[in-house]
Amino acid sequence: MDTIISLDLDDFKNGSPDQKKKFVQDLGQAYQQIGFVAVYNHELSDELTASLYQSTQEFYALPLETKMKYHIKGLAGQRGFTSWGSEHSKDSKVGDLKEFYHFGQEIPTELEGQYDYPKNVLNEEVPLFNENSLKAFSALQETGKYMLRAIALFLNLEESYFDSYIAYGNSILRPIHYGPITEAPKNAVRAGQHEDINLITLLMGASAEGLEVLDKKNNWIPITALPNQLVVNVGDMLQRLTNNVLRSTTHRVVNPPKDQWGTTRFSIPFFLHPTSEMRLDCLGNCVTKENPKMYEDISAGEFLNERLIEIGLIKK
């Protein structure tokens, strides 16, 4: 498979039994082979996407000292603003050429004691940035629920297997700004090659090219979501849970050609996480004689903490 396939999510949600079955099989096969698919007829409207990108650009146009008001120490970057070079891929010590903002779950008051998540950090200068981000979070969470239901069926699990784990999971919406490159980077790129930490990632179309995926032949394939599509990829938590049956594919964001160094890039991924208590122990039906158990038992919370240390957001 040299490219990613495009699937109609409505076939899964409202299609005939045969359409639903075909969606599940096509999705599973794509995730086994390259780890990425594109989906349309999802829950995120083009109007909200456009408004979110506009308000994201307005926020990042603010002076750095203004944005730093929303950097909260002690949260490992899990809410609010994180500045340039703070994060790096787990196999690199060179900070990525990006700044980003994190929005998480809005937990009902009566459940706050059950979920120990930090509260969202809301900026004052561009309130529409907050509003759009939280609306997009909800739409992408709903889309991700259906994607995971299809994945569950492909794995011969109950369709609702993931539902309770993600309803108030530790998911993150991350509006990212890759700024202009002002001098020749020594080793830094906009985002070094990496695999995502979470179950699945949902990515609306970025404002510029640059995302590349590594295929089985070690070729880098450029990926750009069309305006009405989301790119959805497998993360390391799902790869671990499925004992490598589903692949968390390596990807990166490369620097533009030198004549485009003055350009900026905006990207808004949604990292769908389960609750910290979810076990990522390899599923029994994914462990066989031909595919022996690859990973030690671990919870999602323990795994996330390990990775946040590896990428530099938690300091030892």
**Phi, psi of 234, deg, nearest 5:** -80, 140
Residue 14 identity (one-letter amino acid): N
pLDDT of residue 182: 61
pLDDT digits (tens, 9 = 90+) for 166-178: 999 999 999 999 8
Rounded to whole angstroms, the Cα distance separating 144 from 138 reads 10
DSSP 3-state assignment of 310?
helix
- As given in the structure block, the two tokens for residue 122 are 């809301």
Answer yes or no: are the C-beta atoms of 38 and 225 closer than 8 Å. yes
pLDDT of residue 92: 44
What residue ranges of the chain have pLDDT lower than 70? 1-3, 85-96, 181-192, 206-210, 224-225, 255-263, 311-316
pLDDT of residue 315: 63
**CB under 8 Å to 17, separation ≥6 — which residues?**
none
| CATH fold of the domain at 6-310 | Jelly Rolls (2.60.120)
Name the H helices within 110-224: 127-154, 163-166
Quickly count: other Cβ atoms within 10 Å of residue 63's Cβ.
Answer: 8
The residue behind tokens 């070729």 is: 219
pLDDT digits (tens, 9 = 90+) for 256-286: 666 666 667 888 999 999 999 999 999 999 9
- As given in the structure block, the two tokens for residue 246 are 């589903």
**CB under 8 Å to 167, separation ≥6 — which residues?**
none
DSSP 3-state assignment of 37?
strand
**Bridging pattern class, strands 220-222 and 269-272:** unpaired
DSSP 3-state assignment of 6?
strand
Residue 166 identity (one-letter amino acid): I
Answer yes or no: are the C-beta atoms of 200 and 272 closer than 8 Å. yes
pLDDT of residue 257: 61
Annotated domain spans of the chain = 6-310
pLDDT of residue 1: 37
Rounded to whole angstroms, the Cα distance separating 159 from 56 reads 35
Rounded to whole angstroms, the Cα distance separating 86 from 32 reads 32
**CA-based angle 176:239:11, to the nearest 5?**
80
